[in-house]
């Protein structure tokens, strides 16, 4: 039988996730509308590994993420994956990158880094790890 949003409040003690739901939950693996903790799950989740519609934390999974490592529709952070991403090591359909600070420009191909070097007015490219290329001969200090 499908569960409708209006049915969630009528569920009591069935051992399902809905029976433990609170408006604000804090702790280890808390479930609530607003969840704060180690592995929080809720509409708004803040913590180490948050999972929610809006997730803020270290490793976030949700629709909107702000995290060091984020996965979702819109993800902002250091290493992000999603449809719309922002961050120095982001992978997404649409990537928002700084166009003036070469410190945040890492590209999967040498050619892309060379194009950006020409736009910045610097010469050459350099490796960033095993997978990325950055514009300019040297990494900025």
pLDDT tens-digit readout, 42-54: 999 999 999 999 9
pLDDT 10s digits, 114-141: 988 888 888 899 998 888 888 888 876 5
Residues 6+ apart with CB under 8 A from 80: 65, 67, 69, 70, 71, 86, 87, 89, 90, 91, 92
pTM of the complete model beyond 0.85? no
């Amino acid at each position: 039988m499908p569960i409708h949003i209006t049915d969630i409040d009528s569920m009591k003690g069935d051992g399902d996730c809905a029976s433990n739901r609170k408006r604000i939950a804090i702790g280890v693996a808390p479930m609530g509308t607003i969840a704060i903790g180690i592995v929080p799950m809720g509409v708004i989740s803040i913590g180490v590994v948050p999972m929610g519609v809006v997730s803020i934390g270290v490793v976030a999974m949700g629709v909107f993420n702000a995290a060091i490592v984020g996965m979702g529709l819109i993800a902002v952070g250091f290493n992000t994956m999603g449809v719309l991403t922002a961050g120095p090591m982001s992978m997404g359909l649409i990537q928002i990158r700084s166009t003036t600070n070469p410190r945040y420009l890492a590209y999967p191909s040498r050619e892309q880094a060379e194009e950006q070097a020409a736009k910045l007015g610097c010469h050459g490219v350099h490796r960033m790890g095993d997978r990325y290329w950055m514009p300019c001969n040297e990494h900025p200090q």
